[in-house]
Structure 1
Amino acid sequence: MAAAGWRAWPPRLPDQPIFYPVLNRWYATKIAREWNVPAEGVGYVTRFDVRRSYLDRYQVQQAGGRDVLEYWIPAEELDDFNAHLVGAIIAEAEYRGPVDDEEFTDAEEALGRALPEAWRTYLQGESWFRRGWMTTEAYVWLNSPRETLEVHEAWDQATVTHPGIAIIGGDGSREQLVLDLRSDPAPVLLVDIASDGWDTAIRQADDVSQLIDRIEAGTFAFDLKD
């Protein structure tokens, strides 16, 4: 898709005679988390628009429950389908498979502190939210333990001025979601990349379990007010 400027779906593989675009995010998320992540280690939810006059050629198929709705587009008709896309294909969310124990062990040794058990449980579940859009229109990016260490290395001296910090995510730009591991439970705070200490950090959740619950519900929003 990237090679086509995110404006066309790639040809189907020989064992994929049908392209199955689905009609709602719930079903797309279910496919990404329950099928794609176990098979590939990663699953994506995308959103795109197709001209109604073209889609009316096809029947909506109910492949299970009331909300399990999809179109069946023959692989040989995919070029025509792509020609009727309106705008770009948007990546709504990315999910990842379980993080192994070794990665957590390495991170905790480097940090000199244990990460919250709830964070380990979430990232070692069948799938976890890696990045994407909330229903609040907030864009959230979560880090694996290995990525946390990579961000710490990039921050360099700034981690020294934030003792006990673990950078577990952010907004994909300046703002970082962090844990203050000096406390138990560790609160989730928002810190700007230019911050020179904890004084300007803004609390986002009392602990990481609250953050996870809001992300899974799609209701998380960054609190930017001190």
Structure 2
Amino acid sequence: MESNAVLWRPTGRVERDLVARSGWRAWPPRLPDQPIFYPVTNRWYATKIAREWNVPAEGVGHVLRFEVDAAFLERYPVQRVGGRDVLEHWVPAEELDGFNERIDGPIVEIAEFRGPVAAAEFARAGAGLGRELPPAWRDYLGGASWLRRGWTGDEHHLSLSTPEETLAATRAWDRAGAHPGAAIIGGDGAGEHLVLDLREDEPPVLLVGVASAGWETAVPRAASVEELVDLVEAGEFEFYW
């Protein structure tokens, strides 16, 4: 019985966009100074490279997942290049076309990470909202890298907002003032907002539907921004009602 192996690939913006142009079906040719194409064997390692190498180099890092015929992959043995989970397959650049032919299904973008948000952007958002965003949120978005969007489980896709996006989204959503103190910091892209209640000294994180008429319909999701960040970083965040 045929089976597939799941592989992962950290990329910058350029390579990710070239994959998208292929219809999410193929990896682009290597550059002259790139003799090896190296997919990795696990999400942790791909995420580490995307956050520690792609983000500092380009301001953004992506983690992509794909499947390839397992029997075919055996011709490229696993290479351990560091710790226990630092594992790669090395595909010579001249063999990449053949490798692409053995990809089964689409290449899927699992996560996008961004670099630090400038303090000036937080200041502008705070002025527009009439309240400052919490220090823990400034620390997360202002840190070396943060999750811009991605799958935190098989069924939960989370998008987080920059401060300027928070200001624009909150103004557009709550024009009637039904949610005083609200700050939309993310969502699922399908009608569920992740919202801070800035009226509180330690703002809780709430789930609020896009059609909500007031705070009474909000569902608590995390007691604090610190708890939210911990869930996101552990890959354990879920939307629920």
Q: Quote how far apart the aligned CAs of 1:13 are.
A: 2.0
Is residue 59 from structure 1 mapped to residue 77 from structure 2 by the alignment?
A: yes
Letter in 1 for 2:28: P
Deviation at 1:136?
Answer: 6.0
How many residues of Structure 1 are paired with residues of Structure 2 in the alignment? 223
Partners of 1:136 and 1:220 within 8 A in 2: no
- Structure 1 portions without partners, runs of 5+: none
Q: Separation in 2 of the partners of 1:173 and 1:90?
A: 19
**Any residues of structure 2 matched to 1:185-196 within 5 Å, and which?**
185-196=202-213
- Contact 1:136 / 1:218 at 8 angstroms: preserved in 2? no
Paired AA for residue 202 in structure 1: V
1:24 match: 42
**Structure 1 SS opposite 2:238:** coil
Q: Distance in 2 between matches of 1:119 and 1:136?
A: 25
Give, as a single letter, the amino acid of the residue that structure 1 aligns with 2:78.
V
Matched, 1:181 2:187: no
Amino acid at match of 1:147: E
Structure 1 residue 86: Cα displacement: 0.3
* Residue identity matched to 1:133: W
Letter in 2 for 1:197: G
C-alpha separation in 2, matches of 1:165 and 1:218: 25
User: Counterpart in 2 of 1:68?
Assistant: 86
CA distance in 2, matches of 1:115, 1:213: 18
After superposition, the Cα gap between the structure-2 partners of 1:74 and 1:136, relative to the gap in structure 1 and judged at 3 Å, is closer
Q: Where does residue 167 of structure 1 map in the other structure?
A: 184
- What's 1:127 paired with? 145
What is the rounded CA distance, in whole Å, between the counterparts of 1:10 and 1:156 in structure 2?
Answer: 44
Equivalent-residue separation in structure 2 for 1:19 and 1:45 (angstroms): 15
The percent of aligned pairs where both chains have the same amino acid is 63
Question: Which stretches of structure 1, 4 residues or more, deviate above 3 A after TM superposition?
Answer: none
Deviation at 1:146, TM superposition (A): 1.2
Runs of 5+ consecutive residues of structure 2 not aligned to the other structure: 1-18
- C-alpha offsets along residues 173-192 of structure 1, whole Å, 9 cap, x if unaligned? 10000000001100100111
TM-score in terms of structure 1 length: 0.95
Deviations 1:140-177 (A, max 9, x none): 1110101112312432525x211101000011210000
Q: What CA distance in whole angstroms lies between the structure 2 residues aligned with 1:127 and 1:64? A: 22
Render the CA deviation track for 1:75-102: whole Å, top value 9, x for unaligned: 1211111111000011111111000011
Counterpart of 1:104 (choices 99, 116, 122) is: 122
SS in 2 for 1:166: strand
Q: Does 2:226 match 1:222?
A: no
* Structure 2: distance between partners of 1:147 and 1:15: 38
TM-score of the two chains, using structure 2 as the length reference: 0.89
Q: Secondary structure of 1:140's match?
A: strand
Offset at residue 220 of structure 1 (A): 1.2
The amino acid of 2:123's aligned partner reads: T
**1:71, 1:169 → 2: CA distance?**
35
Give the root-mean-square deviation of aligned CA atoms: 1.2
* Cα drift, residue 138 of structure 1: 1.4
State which of 135, 155, 160 in structure 2 corresponds to 1:142.
160
Partner of 1:183, secondary structure, is: coil
